[in-house]
Amino acid sequence: MIAIEGIALVPGSAAGEAVVIQTQQAGGSSLDETREAGKRFEDARHAAEAELRRRIETLADGAARQILRAHLALMADPILLAAVATHIATGLGALAAIGRARADLVARFEAFHDPVLRARAADLSDVCGYLARYFEEPQHAGGGVSGRVVCAEELSPAQLLAFAEEPPVAFALESRAGTSHAAILLRALGVPAMIGVERIVSLVRNGDRLLVDATRGRVILAPGADDEIDTAATSRVESDCGPARTRDGKPIAVTATIGGATDAHRAMIAGADGIGLFRTEWLFMRRERWPSEDEQFEAYHEVARLAKDRPVTVRIMDLGGDKLPPALALPAERNPALGLRGVRLALAYPDLLETQIRALVRAFGRALRMMLPMVNDPGEVLQVRRILDRVASGHYQVGAMIETPAAALMSTELAAVTDFLSLGTNDLTQYVLAADRESRIAATDQNPVHPAVLRLIRLAAADIVGADRPLSVCGEYARDPLVAPILVGMGVTELSVASDAIVATKRLVRGMSTATARLLGDELASLPTATAAADRLATGESGLDVHAPRDAR
């Protein structure tokens, strides 16, 4: 038995036979000799574009979607097309031309001092990787890994997308790039993943038995029976999955953010206290026609079945903005982030909203907890309640997301017409700071501890807690080890995170002090600049005392 330490990117453990994927070099193919190199390149480009569009529609992870949209745009970048065309004109085949263009462009952009231009080098390299994939042999395109452990020096986004339909049981990679685009897509796949596993490719052969233990941060080659059935580790994980309280005794629910039944299944295995955010828009984004009530019911009922007696908060279709379903021909808008989206869009199509509500009532019955996205005014909540009253008699819990400054400032009035409220920290930060979260430049200003953001959250949280309404967080910051304690200190009672973060977030809760976090949050909110707040958070006591495994975050 050999144990190799690494860095846990996605927690969990899994065992299986190894499949070793060697780094592919874009060049030296028999395709280089074809006279149809230009046509082959265009065919590969169109196929890659079609696959990217399909992946963008199906991915629930917002950061992953942002990356793929940028890559889709680069597929038609004149600089890339000209570089490939130049090399094809010299007599190279399509694959070799892609490889030469990749090397040239990466070297050119990495030479810039501007960090934005330097970052483009990695994007161009990834895009060339997508294109090169269409000239690879089938065994290198991502197939045949179901039930196995994928080992590689590194994997490109294109290769990871090929694993999405039938993912392996785990990944063990030598690369240490925990914040790369590939790492974001690895997290979206949701299976145990380790990075920084030194020499894994040279030590392992196809078919070798491996155990990837991303809970302890190690990969075991040729594990024995004692390793496969680690009673101590199992009991520890079961303990981690139990209810979580802060050091000063405040219970905090740690729930899962999901996009459908597969995610719900993972969440229940991970020990989620329930479903904190069921994004229903995935059902609409995948279809050319609008799903019927029966089709929606089947999808919702499967999630309800998997959750059993645990609560499920269902967000009605959050469409518009960057989520444009094929079945709904929305008019083009100059600024879709400020246009027809969320509850505003749902109310503009009342027949579609009523169909969804009917399906939800059928699937969840009296246990229905329905949340409304992008609410600005209590009147919007009342309009949805009237539709709900027409569809079914009796009381069903209705909540609203605090995602805009208007909602935060109207939190007292919203609390009066809702049963629960949730902070959507991603969009709220975007709108408070006027920094587009989908912009590769402005997104760098997405600062959750900016004093303006913290002041508004503190104001809204005080009103909501004062109205005796539960308050959850379902944005990316619910899992952030520095920001989450501050939100709990302000009155949050539920953190909704991706399934892979359930155990780590419960550990985080058990290590935080509500009283300390409240004082820190008040101090940060009172500071005069964002830089001062970031410096204080980086150097000061955060109220944590968590001894978690090494983590790539």
Question: Which phi and psi angles does 324 have, rounded to 5°?
Answer: -115, 105
Question: Which phi and psi angles does 111 have, rounded to 5°?
Answer: -80, -15
Contact between 483 and 543 under an 8 Å Cβ cutoff? The reply is: no
Q: How far apart are CA 97 and CA 82, in angstroms?
A: 11
Structural domain spans, the chain: 2-24+139-233, 30-133, 241-539
**pLDDT reported for residue 295:** 93
Q: Nearest to residue 458, comparing CAs of 491, 430, 428, 481?
A: 491
CA distances from 522 to 94, 430, 508, 547 (A): 59, 21, 20, 26
**pLDDT reported for residue 119:** 75
Contact between 338 and 371 under an 8 Å Cβ cutoff? The reply is: no
Q: How far apart are CA 272 and CA 270, in angstroms?
A: 6
Domains 2-24+139-233 and 30-133 share a fold: no
Segment (H or E) for 538: helix 530-539
Kindly tell me the sign of the dihedral angle through the C-alpha atoms of 527, 531, 533, 535.
negative
On whether the 241-539 domain is CATH 3.20.20.60, my answer is: yes
Q: Which residues contact 474 (CB under 8 A, 6 or more apart)?
A: 257, 276, 277, 401, 422, 423, 424, 496
Other CB atoms within a 10 A radius of the CB of residue 14 amount to 19
Please give the positions annotated as active site. Answer: 181, 474
> Reduced to 3 states, what is the DSSP secondary structure of residue 491?
coil
Q: Which residues contact 300 (CB under 8 A, 6 or more apart)?
A: 280, 314, 359, 360, 362, 363, 364
CA distances from 419 to 181, 368, 406, 471 (A): 38, 12, 19, 10
Give bridge partners of residue 423 from the DSSP assignment.
402, 473
Length of the chain equals 553
Percentages (nearest 5) of helix, strand, coil residues in the chain: 50, 15, 35
Q: Which residues contact 167 (CB under 8 A, 6 or more apart)?
A: 145, 146, 189, 190, 191
Superfamily of domain 2-24+139-233: Phosphohistidine domain (3.50.30.10)
The torsion angle over the Cα atoms of residues 431, 436, 442 and 444, rounded to 10 degrees, is 70
Give bridge partners of residue 13 from the DSSP assignment.
213
pLDDT tens digits, the chain, 553 residues: what are they? 688 988 888 878 889 999 888 654 434 444 444 456 788 888 888 888 888 888 787 776 666 777 888 888 888 888 888 888 887 777 777 777 888 888 888 888 877 777 677 777 878 888 887 787 766 543 444 446 878 999 988 887 767 766 766 788 999 998 876 545 677 677 777 788 998 898 898 888 888 899 999 878 899 987 765 554 343 443 344 445 678 999 999 999 999 999 888 788 888 888 899 999 999 988 887 677 889 999 999 999 999 999 999 999 999 999 887 677 777 777 667 777 788 889 999 999 999 999 999 999 999 999 999 999 999 999 999 999 999 999 998 889 999 999 999 999 999 999 999 999 999 998 899 899 987 765 545 445 668 889 999 999 999 999 999 999 999 998 778 988 889 999 999 999 999 998 878 988 999 999 999 999 999 999 999 999 988 988 888 765 444 443 333 344 4
On whether the 30-133 domain is CATH 3.30.460.10, my answer is: no
Label each residue of 435-449 as H, E or C: CCCCCCCHHHHCCCC
Q: Give me the residue label for tokens 């986004």.
A: 157
- 444 burial via Cβ count (<10 Å: 0-12, 13-18, 19+): exposed
Contact between 275 and 308 under an 8 Å Cβ cutoff? The reply is: no
> Reduced to 3 states, what is the DSSP secondary structure of residue 120?
helix
**pLDDT reported for residue 27:** 41
- 249 burial via Cβ count (<10 Å: 0-12, 13-18, 19+): exposed
Strands (E), 322-383: 369-372
